[in-house]
C-alpha cells in the first residue's frame, strides 16, 4: 500500500482538493448554509447532467461548440503559424507586419463581437471567426519569437549543407520553433474557449455558450452549471491532449 501511495502521492493530492470542495459544497447546501437557488448541490447538478445527456441536448451543444472551436482553430492557427515562421525568417516581412500585429493585438477580442456579427451575420461564421481571432494572435506571436530564438549557427549549418528555402523551413525553422509554437497553441485554445462562450451567448441557438445563456433566461441554474462544468472539462481535456502531443512531437526536449 505504501509504495502505491508514494508512486501516486502527488496525483492523489491533486485529485483530493476538487473532491473535497464538492463534498463541502454538497454539505453546505444540505444544511441550508448556502442558497440552492444560486449554488445547487453537486448531486442535483449531476442529476441534471444525466437528464441532459439522455435527451441528447448536451451532446448536441458540445458537438456544435467543438466544431466551431476546431474550424476556428484551423482558420486562425494555420495562417498564424505560417505567417509567424515567414516573419521569423525574413526581416523585411517582419518589420512590415509587426506594427499591424502590435497595434491590433491589444484590442479585446470580445469587444469585436458586434463588428464580427455585423460582418459575418448570426450564423456559424461569426462564431468561427471569433475563435480564429483568439487563436491567431498567440500562435503568430509565439511562432515569431520561436523562430527568432533559434541559434544562428543552425541556419549556417543549413546553408552549408545546401538547404533551400523549403528545407530550411522544414528542418530548421519549424522544429526549432516548435516548443514556442506549442505554447502559442495552448494559449490560443484557452482564448478560443473564452471567445466561443461569449460568441454563443449572443445570437446563437446552439452551443455551450447558448446553453448557459438560455439557462439563465429560464432560471434553470442546474443546466447553467452543467454548461460551466462542460467548458471546464473541455479545457482540461485540451490541456492533457496538448501535453501528450508535446511529448510526442518534441522528444528532444530535455526532461
Q: Which of 71, 74, 163, 187 binds another protein (CB under 8 A)?
A: 163
Which three cell numbers, joined as nine digits, stand for 22?
A: 464538492
Using the rule CB under 8 A, is 154 a contact of another protein? yes
Instruction: Round to whole Å and give the CA distance between 195 and 181.
Output: 20
Contact between 178 and another protein per CB under 8 A: yes
Q: Is residue 13 near another protein by the rule CB under 8 A?
A: no
**Which of 37/160 has CB closer to another protein?**
160
CB of 184 to another protein, least distance (A): 17
Residues 110 and 148: their CA atoms lie apart, in Å, by 30
Q: What is residue 202's DSSP assignment?
A: S
166 is an interface residue for another protein by CB under 8 A = no
- Distance in Å, CB of 58 to another protein, minimum: 42
Residue 247 binding another protein, by CB under 8 A:
no
Q: Using CA atoms, how far apart are residues 122 and 19, in angstroms rounded to an integer?
A: 40
Candidates 44, 110, 145, 171: give the one binding another protein (CB under 8 A): 171
Q: Does 145 bind another protein (CB under 8 A)?
A: no
CA separation for the pair 165, 171 (Å, rounded): 10
Long-range contacts of 244-250 (CB under 8 A, 24+ apart): 245/182, 246/182, 249/178, 249/182, 250/178, 250/179, 250/182
Say whether residue 159 binds another protein (CB under 8 A): yes
Burial of 4 by CB count in 10 Å (0-12 exposed, 13-18 middle, 19+ buried)? exposed
Q: In this structure, what C-alpha cell is assigned to residue 213? A: 445563456
Beta carbon nearer to another protein, 79 or 175: 175
Least distance in angstroms from the C-beta of 175 to another protein: 4
In degrees, to the nearest 5, what angle opens at C-alpha 110 toward C-alphas 107 and 116?
Answer: 95
Residue 157 within binding range of another protein, rule CB under 8 A: yes
Nearer to another protein, 108 or 162 (CB): 162
153 binds another protein (CB under 8 A): yes
Please report, as ranges, the residues that interact with another protein according to CB under 8 A: 151, 153-154, 156-157, 159-163, 167, 171-172, 175-176, 178, 250-254
Amino acid at each position: 500500500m505504501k509504495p502505491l501511495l508514494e508512486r501516486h502521492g502527488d496525483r492523489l493530492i491533486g485529485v483530493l482538493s476538487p473532491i473535497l470542495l464538492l463534498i463541502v459544497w454538497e454539505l453546505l447546501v444540505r444544511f441550508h448554509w448556502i442558497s440552492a437557488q444560486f449554488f445547487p448541490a453537486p448531486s442535483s447538478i449531476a442529476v441534471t447532467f444525466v437528464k441532459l445527456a439522455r435527451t441528447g441536448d448536451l451532446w448536441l451543444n458540445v458537438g456544435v461548440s467543438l466544431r466551431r472551436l476546431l474550424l476556428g482553430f484551423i482558420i486562425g492557427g494555420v495562417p498564424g503559424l505560417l505567417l509567424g515562421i515567414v516573419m521569423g525568417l525574413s526581416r523585411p516581412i517582419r518589420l512590415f507586419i509587426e506594427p499591424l500585429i502590435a497595434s491590433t493585438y491589444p484590442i479585446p477580442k470580445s469587444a469585436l463581437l458586434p463588428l464580427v456579427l455585423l460582418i459575418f451575420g448570426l450564423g456559424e461564421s461569426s462564431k468561427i471567426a471569433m475563435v480564429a481571432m483568439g487563436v491567431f494572435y498567440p500562435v503568430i506571436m509565439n511562432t515569431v519569437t520561436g523562430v527568432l530564438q533559434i541559434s544562428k549557427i543552425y541556419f549556417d549549418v543549413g546553408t552549408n549543407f545546401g538547404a533551400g528555402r523549403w528545407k530550411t523551413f522544414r528542418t530548421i525553422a519549424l522544429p526549432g520553433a516548435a516548443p514556442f509554437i506549442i505554447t502559442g497553441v495552448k494559449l490560443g485554445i484557452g482564448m478560443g474557449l473564452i471567445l466561443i462562450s461569449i460568441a454563443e451567448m449572443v445570437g446563437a441557438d446552439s452551443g455551450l455558450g447558448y446553453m448557459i445563456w438560455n439557462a439563465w433566461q429560464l432560471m434553470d441554474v442546474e443546466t447553467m452549471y452543467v454548461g460551466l462544468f462542460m467548458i471546464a472539462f473541455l479545457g482540461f481535456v485540451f490541456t492533457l491532449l496538448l501535453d501528450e502531443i508535446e511529448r510526442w512531437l518534441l522528444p528532444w526536449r530535455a526532461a
